[in-house]
């Protein structure tokens, strides 16, 4: 036991102190994978992932029947509404016979939903519960990706509508196309010929896994309010798909040996097992999102997840760097920089850069384009914008989050020093605009000084 504890204590140093500059490819891949597993396990241990998963379980219980009812109505328009039961059975398969029972109950609840009997208020509540689930999933993904701002109402409406309407149709269409293809005469002829028969049978067995990985990848691509690279989303989807299947097998074994829990909880046993399985499913989804995030942002793979806090001077310098970069590209007629591009250029986490961008936007200095992902451009003519306004923007945003200056104790000497400092800065930079900052190679005009020799 002592030997195991020593290995555990030595493991972080082995992972983080490894020199990968001249290491072979296999070692680089192994160490980076170990670091990824380490940071994901660390995030789970800190409790944020589990809290989000538990919150999503509660929302799922409220919105599952409305979500199925909406999907049922959409699928009914295409004449394939009977396929909703096989999808539920596939999701609840690890619960065994209890999964079949819960599926039958859920389908019964959905059949009892009648839009005409609900009325306008009931129908509005039906859609509200569905949208609230998707909104909470987006918020959880945004927290994982350090995105502080969610989508606008118009963007949410279009994205959520596509998920609610297109999602069920694509899933059922994929399942139906696979079944139809396997039943054709040409496929039956190929099945009789080896090795094509073996390969096609293997492909049919792998189809559910491919659909699961595709669903996870789709979620990681489109749900976060940021640009996610396909490769990173695919890595997260592959890991989440494998993890989901593995946990499903383990949960099936647990359910088979849970007779004593059924005796204790009686009728509540199925509900409790259902809640546990939904919780594990959300955990897998969020873990896959974390893996996709760390794959795309390897700079976050650090031994400790400490938050970078800039000093007052650091925030002011960062704001000037941002304005210079954005202004320079604006005058050179180059494409606007996105948050991800600015963060990469500044070598800082996107969350830190986002705060400064938000401060400059709130002060009316920057705005975002309608592109996806949005780019940052000047909100007003830079030649009419003094650099002092950039400094004032970041100072004002920081003050708004803390103690107001007017609430501080007054002191004649201190107030005089602060006023003299502000006056000196204003006089030094009064003629220096954001256009000069963006384009100039000229020096900032020096402060007025008196030559002691004259």
Cα 256 versus chain centre, distance: 35
C-alpha distance from residue 19 to each of 9, 24, 188 (Å): 19, 11, 55
Q: Mean pLDDT for each 10-residue chunk of the chain (454 residues)?
A: 57 68 77 84 85 86 74 63 68 73 73 57 68 83 80 70 64 56 57 61 69 86 85 92 86 72 63 84 92 85 67 87 91 88 83 86 88 85 89 74 58 80 78 84 45 42
Structure token digits, residue 143: 């927290």
CB neighbours (10 Å) of residue 373?
14
- The pLDDT of residue 214: 85
Asked if residues 290 and 49 have their Cβ atoms less than 8 Å apart, the reply is yes
pLDDT at residue 449, as a whole number: 43
CA distance 181 to 197: 14
- Please tell me the CATH code under which domain 312-404+411-439 is placed: 1.10.10.10
Q: Can you give the pLDDT at residue 452?
A: 41
Closest CA to 83 of 168, 191, 207: 168
Length of the chain: 454
What pLDDT sits at residue 289? Answer: 92
Distance CA 210, CA 190 (A): 22
The answer to whether the predicted template modeling score (pTM) of the entire model surpasses 0.75 is no
pLDDT at residue number 448: 47
- Residues ≥6 apart with Cβ < 8 Å to 359: 319, 393, 394, 396, 397, 398
Residues 6+ apart with CB under 8 A from 16: 35, 303
The strand pairing partners of 377, in sequence order, are 367
Q: Do 354 and 339 meet the contact criterion of CB atoms below 8 Å apart?
A: yes
Cis peptide before 373 (omega within 30 of 0): yes
Provide the residue ranges of all domains of the chain, joining segments of one domain with +.
Answer: 44-300, 312-404+411-439
Q: Are 389 and 365 in contact (CB under 8 A)?
A: yes
Q: Give pLDDT, residue 25.
A: 80
**Max Cα separation, the chain?**
105
Residue in this structure with the two tokens 């591009």, named with its chain if needed:
341
Burial of 237: CB neighbours in 10 Å, binned 0-12, 13-18, 19+: buried
For residue 70, give the nearest of 163, 198, 185, 5 by alpha carbon.
Answer: 163
User: 3-class secondary structure for 327-352?
Assistant: HHHHHCCCCCEEHHHHHHHHCCCHHH
């Amino acid at each position: 036991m002592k030997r195991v504890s020593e290995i555990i204590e030595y493991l972080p140093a082995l992972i983080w102190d490894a020199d990968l500059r001249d290491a072979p490819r296999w070692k680089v891949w192994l160490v980076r994978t170990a670091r990824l597993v380490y940071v994901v396990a660390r995030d789970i241990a800190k409790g944020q992932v589990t809290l989000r998963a538990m919150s999503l379980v509660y929302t799922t219980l409220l919105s599952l029947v409305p979500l199925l009812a909406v999907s049922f109505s959409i699928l009914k328009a295409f004449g394939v509404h009977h396929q909703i039961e096989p999808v539920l059975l596939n999701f609840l398969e690890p619960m065994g016979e209890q999964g079949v029972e819960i599926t039958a109950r859920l389908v019964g609840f959905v059949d009892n939903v009648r839009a005409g009997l609900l009325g306008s208020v009931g129908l509005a509540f039906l859609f509200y519960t569905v949208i609230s689930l998707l909104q909470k999933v987006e918020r959880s993904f945004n927290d994982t990706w350090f995105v502080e701002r969610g989508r606008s109402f118009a963007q949410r409406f279009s994205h959520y509508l596509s998920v609610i309407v297109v999602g069920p149709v694509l899933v059922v269409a994929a399942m139906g196309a696979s079944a139809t293809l396997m039943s054709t005469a040409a496929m039956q002829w190929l099945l009789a010929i080896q090795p094509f028969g073996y390969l096609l049978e293997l492909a049919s067995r792998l189809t559910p896994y491919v659909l699961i990985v595709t669903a996870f990848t789709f979620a990681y691509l489109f749900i976060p309010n940021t640009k996610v690279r396909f490769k990173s989303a695919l890595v997260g989807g592959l890991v989440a798909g494998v993890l989901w299947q593995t946990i499903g097998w383990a949960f099936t074994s647990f359910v088979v040996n849970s007779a004593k829990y059924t005796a204790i909880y009686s009728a509540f046993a199925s509900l409790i097992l259902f809640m546990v399985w939904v919780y594990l499913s959300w955990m897998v989804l969020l873990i896959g999102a974390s893996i996709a995030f760390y794959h795309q942002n390897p700079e976050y793979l650090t031994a400790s997840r400490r938050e970078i806090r800039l000093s007052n001077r650091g925030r002011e310098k960062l704001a000037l760097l941002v304005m210079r970069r954005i202004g320079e590209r604006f005058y050179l007629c180059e494409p606007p920089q996105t948050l991800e591009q600015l963060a990469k250029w500044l070598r800082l986490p996107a969350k830190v850069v986002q705060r400064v961008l938000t401060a400059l936007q709130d002060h009316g200095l920057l705005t975002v384009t309608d592109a996806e992902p949005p780019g940052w451009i000047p909100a007003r003519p830079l030649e009419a914008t003094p650099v002092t306004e950039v400094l004032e923007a970041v100072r004002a945003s920081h003050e708004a989050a803390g103690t107001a200056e007017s609430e501080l104790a007054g002191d004649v000497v201190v107030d005089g020093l602060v006023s003299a400092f502000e006056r000196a800065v204003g006089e030094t930079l009064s003629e220096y605009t954001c256009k000069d900052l963006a384009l100039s190679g000229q020096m900032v005009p020096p402060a007025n000084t008196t030559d002691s020799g004259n």
